[in-house]
Structure 1
Amino acid sequence: MVSPYAGPLAGPPGPRPAFQMPVACGERWQLGTYPGHDDFDVDFFPLDGESWGRPVLASFEGTVTMAGINGTLGGRTPADPDGPRGTGGGYWVKIAHEGRWETQYLHLLEPPLVSSGDRVARGQQIGKLGSTGNSGAPHLHYEQRRGWEKVETYFDGRPSGITTDDREYTTARVSKNC
């Protein structure tokens, strides 16, 4: 179940929080996008080890505003990775951060580990990497928003380089979410 959070989001957006990658410290991940994905959307794939069930972490402290199901779940699981796709983002979490910033985390494996209204710390586990919703493989779909407008993601003060979906683009990064 998704429940709305009615927190104070009035006023102009403030400065960008010091977002970190939403994955464990020291891990190497591929960040990417592709044509038709939507501007500023970032998909995370681990470069080492198993994908299914990896911890998904809050990229900055904040308050959970949505936690539950976006669309339908489908049937892709570790036991049936080619099961039917669902719709939308599957299991997901949205977090409101200081200065009217938001982050979104989609395609989680299981129900989120947090609920609407929960305060989370940077680096706190909020879910597990999966392939629910309209997803073709286990990964994390991640977005940063200023107000309600999607913007380029920054991690550790550096831009991701993912700005449009005009072409396929990938880059590798090491998480500093320690």
Structure 2
Amino acid sequence: MAFHYMRISAAFAVAFMGISLPAFAQTAGAPSLSMPLDCEMGRTCWVQNLVDIDTGPARVDPFCGAATFDTHKGTDIRVATIAEMKKGIDIKAMASGTVLGFRNDMDEALIVDGEGRAVVKGRECGNGLVIDHGNAWTTQMCHFAKGSVTVKKGERVGRGQVVGRMGLSGMTAFPHIHVTVRRGKGVVDPITGASVGRNCNPNASTSATLWDAAARTQVVAASSAVIKTGFSSAAVKGVDVIRDTVPTISTDGPLLFFANLINLKKGDRIDLVLKGPDGNVLVESKGKPMPAPKATWTTYTGRRGKPESGTYRGEVRLIRNDRVIDIKGANVTF
């Protein structure tokens, strides 16, 4: 079947299912949406991308930030690494409804280059499904593991029912689930209730949110956060962190402490510190202000030479407007 969501319009609903979807712009009669994953926001999962509210070539999230990309039609909730994903992360229906269509047979791969993007062109959603919630409201969930979809077209599903498992099908540069909310043909941001084409607002109200009472405490904005820390004996790239292929630690050194962060804003700073077994600071790195927003960023600090016996600790601080907004650390023992 053809799933033509993610980067394009509601062509799947119109062409594949043979239905006509009227266009709406308000949230009247909208379903109340529960979390599609069992995770703790800010600790085991994070909001990477929001809806691109702008209809032009710019990328603008509903809060006038850059936590999106051009024509992005949904909310991306991610985990840090493929290893975390492989533990088995169930995807649940966010509200009751009827399955309009699904895909379940697409292979999985991490997309890191143009060749990979070409392979999934027109099928960016990968494996997933569309659920009709009534009153012309639908939700689409993407990037399921191959063969994990548990429901069929026309089947009734209940809120919280497991409908699949997170995977790497479609346009996946990191492990995540993509959620698109539509009323008719129009994409609606579930956090603010705003439809695509509305002006962004840095102080946008969430009073019209589609998330239910429990979910709205977790999905309130894009996550600016440290999502992974650790140690290595060589330079670390972001894709290494995602793939869990960070260079192993050598007892002969050098010793590097790394941090992987998401959704940095212009002016944000990253401070790193490495402490020795006696608690004294061995290396301290004061980051310069970010010259532009960064969707992801990997940084590290460390020292040459063979580490002495004992426990070393690395810490990272994400600083915005002179205030620490996230701090994480890791230990390693020789």
Tell me the amino acid that sits aligned with residue 27 of structure 1: E
* Aligned partner of 1:59 among 94, 97, 101: 94
> TM-score, normalization: structure 1?
0.71
Backbone CA RMSD of aligned residues: 3.6
User: Residue 42 of structure 1: CA displacement?
Assistant: 0.9
Question: Which residue of structure 2 lines up, in the alignment, with residue 27 of structure 1?
Answer: 40
Say whether 1:101 aligns with 2:137: yes
The runs of 5 or more residues in structure 2 that have no matched partner are 3-11, 50-66, 191-209, 223-292, 297-334
Q: Which amino acid aligns with 1:98?
A: G
| Aligned AA (2:156) | R
Normalising by the residue count of structure 2, what TM-score does the alignment of the two structures yield? 0.41
| C-alpha spacing 1:74/1:16, structure 2 compared with 1 (3 Å) | same
Q: Deviations over 1:67-114 (max 9, x none)?
A: 115xx935428xxx99x5641111011000021110011111123111
Q: Percent identity?
A: 26
Runs of 4+, deviation exceeding 3 Å: 1-14, 46-49, 72-75, 157-162, 167-170
* Alignment partners' CA distance in 1, 2:145 and 2:70: 20
- Please say if residues 45 and 51 of structure 1, whose CA atoms lie closer than 8 Å, have aligned partners that are also in contact: no
Deviations along 1:35-92, one digit per CA (max 9) or x if unpaired, are 42535521111369812331000000000001115xx935428xxx99x564111101
SS at 1:155 equivalent: coil
Segments of 5+ residues of structure 1 without an aligned counterpart are 171-178
Partner of 1:41 in structure 2? 74
Note the alpha carbon deviations across 1:92-145, whole angstroms, 9 max, x for none. 110000211100111111231111101000000111001111211221011111
* Alpha-carbon separation, structure 2, partners of 1:121 and 1:139: 22
SS of residue in 2 equivalent to 1:21: coil
Alignment coverage as a number of residue pairs: 160
Match of 2:169 in 1: 132
Higher relative contact order (CA 8 A, sep 6+): 1
User: In structure 2, do the counterparts of structure 1 residues 106 and 168 end up closer, same or farther at CA, with 3 Å as the change threshold?
Assistant: farther
Q: Please give the secondary structure, in 1, of the residue aligned with 2:168.
A: coil
**Does the CA-based 8 Å contact 2:47-2:76 persist in structure 1?**
yes
Give the structure with the higher percent helix: 2
Does the alignment pair 1:152 with 2:189? yes
User: Is the contact made by 1:14 and 1:98 (CA closer than 8 Å) also made in structure 2?
Assistant: no
